[in-house]
Every structure is written in C-alpha cells, then in structure tokens.
Amino acid sequence: MQLRDFVLDNSEGQIAVRFGIGFTDLDPVRLMLKEGAQITLECEASLSEPSTIWLSDTLTRHRFTSVLTYNVLTREYVIVHGNETALHKNTSLLKLLEQTWEKLSITLGQLSALERGKDYRVTLDIRAKNDNTPPWLTKTLFFWSWDVAPSMHYTMNFTF
C-alpha cells in the first residue's frame, strides 16, 4: 500500500486533505477478497498547531472509512464509503480503486478559522485491515498484525 498524493486544498472556504491510496501488487488483495475477506480502509486526518515543547494542540480531527468486498455471484468488487448508501462496483479491481481510493478527500473545517502567519501541521494516518478475522483468533494471536498492509503516517507542516 502506498500514498499516491497528499495535497492541502482550499475549496469553497473549506480546508481539505486530498490523497490517494494505491497498491503496488493487487494479486494478494484479489486473493484475499475472493476468499471472503472484507477490507476496511480507515483514514484519519487532523489539523494542529505544532509545539516544540509539548504535544501539539489539535484543532480538528476527522475520520473516513471505506469497505472493499468481492461479490461472488456478480463477480464484482464493491466499495462502500462510510455512511453512504451508494455502492461503487466494477469487475476490475484496478479500475475500481482508481475511481475511489485513489481520489479521497477529508474536510478539516473552515479556512477562516486559521490565522494568517501561523504554523500548522496536518497529519494523515491510514490503515487497511481485514475485518473477517475471527475474534477468538485475534485474541489468541494478539501479537500478530491483521492489517492488509503496514499502517502509514504522514505529516505536512505549512504556514497559512
């Protein structure tokens, strides 16, 4: 799993983080999905004021989740974003990911809340996990990672 973009965007007075998630090798993902796995993508973006002495002061934090599955009957890959009812479907996993996970955005709030000349920090945490792991197995093998790929953490500092 790799980050394709990481851009701050000012859209209609809102500050947003635009980014994309891609996979270097889709074959293991295809195999997992065809074996019944449900992959959940969890993304969390936060905006904070960096501090050199102590912890940063977090101004806002937003989460985004998306679930990827494979429908055996229709032979389609399906993605559902968060609370949306719309299903994104395609028989090609590559095309589906290009249309969805490679074009993500998380809104962090009003641009007017930021002060000119101040330093800010945007962090982005990304995790893809297999949700179909039995609870008894995760508790027994608590030291084992059930993530599809290693978690990613990105930081961007900027002056407004």
Q: Is the pLDDT assigned to residue 68 strictly greater than 80? A: yes
pLDDT score of 88:
95
Give 129's pLDDT tier (boundaries 50, 70, 90): confident
Comparison of pLDDT for 57 and 103, the residue scoring more: 103
pLDDT score of 133:
60
pLDDT tens profile 2-52: 898 899 988 888 999 999 999 888 999 999 999 888 999 999 999 998 876
Cα angle for residues 127, 92, 147 (degrees, 5° grid): 20
Cα separation, 63 vs 107, whole angstroms: 10
SS3 state of residue 14: strand
